[in-house]
A and B are shown apart, each in its own frame.
Chain A
Amino acid sequence: MAAFETPPLGEYPVIPLLREGAMAHSKPYVAKPDHQTPLGFPGELVPDWENVAVTKLGELVSQSRALQVFLDSCVKCGACTDKCHYYLGTADPKNMPVARQDLLRSVYRRYYTFAGRFFPWLVGARDMTKKVLDEWYSYFHQCSQCRRCSVFCPYGIDTAEISMAAREVLDTVGVGQKYSNEIIAKVHKIGNNLGLPGPALRDTLEGLEEDVKEATGVDVKFPLDVKGADVLLVTPSADFFAEPHVDGLIGYAKVLHAAGISWTLSSHASEAANFSLFIGNHDNLQRVAERIREAAIELGVKRIVVGECGHAWRVAYSFWNTLIGPFDFLDPRYPAPQHICEVTYDLIRRGALTLDKSANDDKVVTFHDSCNVSRGSRMGDVPGGQFLIPREIIRACVNKFVDMAPETIGEATFCCGGGGGLLTDDLVELRVKGALPRMQALQQVVEEHGVNYLAAICAICKSQFTKVLPYYKHPMDMIGSVHGLVSNAIVLGSGK
């Protein structure tokens, strides 16, 4: 990988002038046949791939009203051009959302529209060539599918949908991305992204029980495969041992312990993440999600709760009912599924938790809204609950909380730079540069308020910030789980 420079943080954010081809070299490792075939994709570029790609594209569009409308409706107004963190961080014009869409729209036009078929030069329509395919591979892996652009689009055109379709076409012709596809294959085979088998998981959880016992003197359990538990907790596998994720898991366990809720993890569904979302493939999306239905039925639980994981919560909140519902086997008094933050917030409101804010007095906290939670889902029963609930939890656990600039949080939040299947070392330049807008906003609250803790509720955000914070001269352990704060503040032994 070529050396690169971390973009400098100015006094205020700027929209860069175009630098054509600035990121043309960026591409993730291509999947090997071993990563492709378990997902049902060909192992290498198929013969006659041009036709296969064009046919697949037509098929995808005919199956998705979103694609159909989005590909027709763009007027090139330019509203989205300065909204993507990858554009702001790299200045490569193909990272402007509309230009990224046009990489695919140009091919769609050529083969499926009147204007593109007969007047390609007029509407910028292009033949499907190897050059186009390579460009797709590069730039559709420079989109974290964070949906920020679509918030600003007057037609709600969602680049994530187009980027997912492009990756699906790439997979179909045999050019998959190693990082995502290898992980999905692991989930199919072993049950989680890390490839952590059941016995190892049990060991890890027992270790955590000992750690918590040592630190608090309380027997907080981390149950696995307990039939008849009330709650099945499905959480990203990073929570099982990676820092700072594991502090979040300890937080969930303490909350559930304090509230007296019986719960369990499942070795069959030991992963909340569903990377199939990133590659746009609905067969895999459904297959990976179905493990959770199976586990819930097998364990006979009444509720399903999802841990801190952004895209997993999007899949759970927005898609599970469709993919693996109806949840008529669960207790109808609770939303299905529930986010751990909803559970904790509810308990806080009911006064069921004792929280000592002073335990976090060494911290000045800000909150990073994760894109998939902010723009792909909701929490609670009012619009915007996904912004309110995590903040209320933090406020209940710390004395010093400040928000970053309003145009960088809430539904306008900037992606961490590592979402959408890009959290891989072969894309580190992209990840560092894409983090620029978030780092800019963070820098401001660090300087003005002395913020020293960046709380998040997404495993990808946490891993990404751990990696990129040092590039921007912040300590890597500045990033932490929201439930890590809960874990510090909660006073055990007083629960009902």
Chain B
Amino acid sequence: MSALTVFYALLFYSATAILVGGVGYKCWVYVRTPQPLKIPIPPAPATRRGVALRMLVEVTFFKSLFRANKWIWLFGWLFHVALLAVLLRHLRYFTEPVWAWVDLVQPLGLYAGFAMLVGLAGLWARRFLVDRVRYISSPSDHLMLALLVAIAASGLAMKFVAHTDIVALKAFFLGLMAFDWQPLPADPVLLAHLGLVAALMIVFPISKLLHAPGVFFSPSLNQVDDARERRHAAGWSAKIVYVKRASGG
């Protein structure tokens, strides 16, 4: 077993633990923290079903963003959908036999890699070209884009420039999942790609990537507009005690 294999095996175990544990912890914090008042943002549905639908439309089509700004929507939506396709395509490296529908996604996943880059390039360009967005960007915002661009570019390089030993790679990941380690090919592009992905997994729970779980907990989006019909109480508002005070006036 090479030191390289051991290093990457341990890296992915820890990255996975940090990602799952970190996001899990954050979600638990969101669940645990009470929302004492009703603050849904219109158009707020009056039923639970309506809220579920609203959330679905929001996270699949980015409806609010579409209303806000067509350019951000275009690049942002393109990036996210492409990322999803690419992730699904990557399932083939973690399943044996490969699920039939993953095979179907396969050709789509190839274009998606480029679409991802286009989306990221558009978003990054805005951080330089639009004075308002330039003003609000901090180094971490640029770094995050750089990280994602590097991941996409190194991935595409292995498909279109220099093929890596994909069979050995799959054996490595299947081995990791079965705690039966297999050697990792020492291909520099592959190592870079994997290292960057692990970095992304590690920063996920301590960065703005928390928007992914966060959106589902956002009270302005997930509350039902039924304040008059159902008495809401949580946290301090569940502890209100009425005190009779002397009449004024």
Which A residues have a C-beta under 8 Å from some C-beta of B?
15, 17-18, 61-66, 68-70, 72-83, 93, 96, 98-99, 102, 113-115, 119, 121-124, 147, 150-158, 161, 189-191, 197-198, 201, 266-268, 270, 282, 286, 290-291, 293-294, 298, 317-319, 321-326, 335-337, 374-376, 378, 381-384, 386, 411-412
Q: Please list 23 pairs of residues, one from A and one from B, whose beta carbons are closer than 8 Å in the complex, sorted by A's number.
A: A17-B131, A18-B135, A62-B33, A63-B33, A68-B33, A83-B68, A93-B132, A96-B132, A96-B135, A114-B206, A115-B207, A122-B139, A123-B140, A151-B42, A154-B76, A155-B218, A282-B37, A319-B227, A321-B228, A321-B231, A378-B42, A382-B46, A383-B46
B128 at the interface (CB under 8 A from A): no
Residues of B contacting A70 in the complex (Cβ-Cβ under 8 angstroms)? 218
Which B residues are in CB contact (< 8 Å) with A80?
Answer: 68
A76/B141 in contact, CB under 8 A = yes
Q: CB within 8 Å of A: which of B192-249?
A: 206-208, 210-211, 214-215, 217-221, 225, 227-228, 230-233, 235-237, 240, 242-245, 247-249
The complex places the Cα of A161 from the Cα of B245 at a distance, in Å, of 29
Excluding A150-B220, A294-B247, 18 further A-B contacts by CB distance (< 8 Å) are A61-B33, A65-B30, A73-B211, A74-B211, A76-B136, A78-B136, A93-B132, A96-B132, A115-B206, A122-B143, A157-B218, A158-B41, A190-B249, A191-B249, A290-B242, A374-B42, A378-B225, A381-B46
Is B91 in contact with chain A by the CB < 8 A criterion? no
**Min CB gap B94→A, angstroms:** 28
A78 and B122 alpha carbons, distance in the complex (Å): 13
A77 CA to B58 CA, complexed, in Å? 15
- Chain B residues numbered 111-156 whose CB sits less than 8 Å from any CB in chain A: 123, 126, 130-133, 135-141, 143
| Pairwise interchain contact A69-B214, C-beta atoms closer than 8 A | yes
B68 touches A79 (CB 8 A): yes
| Residue of chain B at shortest CB distance from A66 | B219
A75 to B148, CA, bound (A): 14
Which B residues touch A161, using CB under 8 A?
A: 39
Contact present for A322 and B139 (CB under 8 Å):
no
Pair B235/A317 contact, Cβ less than 8 Å: no
B-side contacts of A197, CB under 8 Å? 249
Minimum CB–CB distance from B207 to chain A (whole Å) comes to 6
The 3 closest A-B pairs by CB, nearest first: A267-B249, A73-B214, A152-B68
The answer to whether B41 touches A74, judged by C-beta atoms less than 8 angstroms apart, is: no
- Residue B26 interfacial (CB < 8 Å): yes
**Chain A: CB-nearest residue to B69:** A79
Whether a CB of chain A sits under 8 angstroms from the CB of B34 is: yes
Residue of B nearest to A97 (CB): B136
Question: Which residues of B lie under 8 Å from residue A383 when comparing CB positions?
Answer: 42-46, 50, 225
Verify B41–A150 contact, CB threshold 8 A. yes
Given A63-B36, A66-B219: A96 touches B136 (CB 8 Å cut-off): yes
Instruction: State in angstroms the CA–CA spacing of A386 and B41 once bound together.
Output: 13
Q: Are B242 and A293 in contact (CB under 8 A)?
A: yes
Nearest CB of chain A from residue B124's CB, rounded to whole Å: 12
User: Does B49 sit within 8 A of A, measured CB to CB?
Assistant: no
Q: Determine how close the nearest CB of chain B comes to the CB of A69; give it in whole angstroms.
A: 5
- B residues in contact with A267, CB < 8 Å: 248-249
Q: Is B72 close to A, CB under 8 A?
A: yes
Tell whether, in the assembled complex, residue A384 and residue B240 are in contact, meaning their CB atoms are under 8 Å apart.
no
A321 touches B245 (CB 8 A): no
Interface flag for B176 (CB, 8 Å): no
Residue pair B43, A384 in contact (C-beta under 8 Å): yes
CB distance from A256 to the nearest CB of B (A): 21
Taken together as a complex, chains A and B put the C-alpha atoms of A267 and B225 apart, in Å, by 32
Given A74-B208, A123-B138, A152-B64, A189–B248 Cβ distance below 8 Å?
Answer: yes
Q: Hey, which chain B residues are within 8 Å of A17, CB to CB?
A: 131
**Residues in A neighbouring B210, C-beta threshold 8 A:** 72-73
Across the interface, which residues of A come within 8 angstroms of B100, CB to CB?
none
Q: How far is B30's CA from A78's CA once the two chains are assembled, in angstroms?
A: 24
The A-contacting residues of B in range 144-183, CB under 8 angstroms, are none
Nearest chain A residue, comparing its CB with the CB of B216: A69
Is A318 a contact of B38 with CB atoms below 8 Å?
A: yes
Question: Which residues from B are CB-within-8-Å of A266?
Answer: 249
Report the separation of the CA atoms of residues A382 and B210 in the bound assembly, to the nearest whole angstrom. Answer: 33
Most central of B64, B132, B207, B221 by chain A CB within 10 Å: B132
Q: What residues of B have a CB within 8 angstroms of the CB of A375 in the complex?
A: 41-42
Residues of B within 8 A of A15 (CB): 132
B65 contacts partner chain A, Cβ-Cβ < 8 Å: yes
- Provide the bound-state CA to CA distance between A268 and B248, in Å: 5
User: B1 at interface (Cβ–Cβ under 8 A)?
Assistant: no
| Chain B residue at minimum C-beta to C-beta distance from A79 | B68
- A291: which B residues are within 8 A, CB to CB? 245, 248
- A78 and B69: CB pair below 8 A? yes
A113 contacts B206, C-beta separation under 8 Å: yes
User: Given A68-B33, A156-B41, A321-B228: A121 and B139 within 8 A (CB)?
Assistant: yes
Partner of A151, one of B41, B58, B136, B143: B41
In the assembled complex, the Cα of A165 lies from the Cα of B36 at a distance in Å of: 14
**B14 contacts partner chain A, Cβ-Cβ < 8 Å:** no
Q: What separation, in Å, do the CA atoms of A290 and B246 have in the docked complex?
A: 12
For residue A76, which residues in chain B have a CB less than 8 angstroms away from its CB? 133, 136-138, 141, 208
CB distance from B132 to the nearest CB of A (A): 4
Task: Answer whether residue B8 sits at the interface, using C-beta atoms and an 8 A cutoff.
Answer: no
Chain A residue nearest to B44 in the complex (CB): A383
Q: Return chain B residues, CB-CB under 8 Å to A115.
A: 140, 206-207
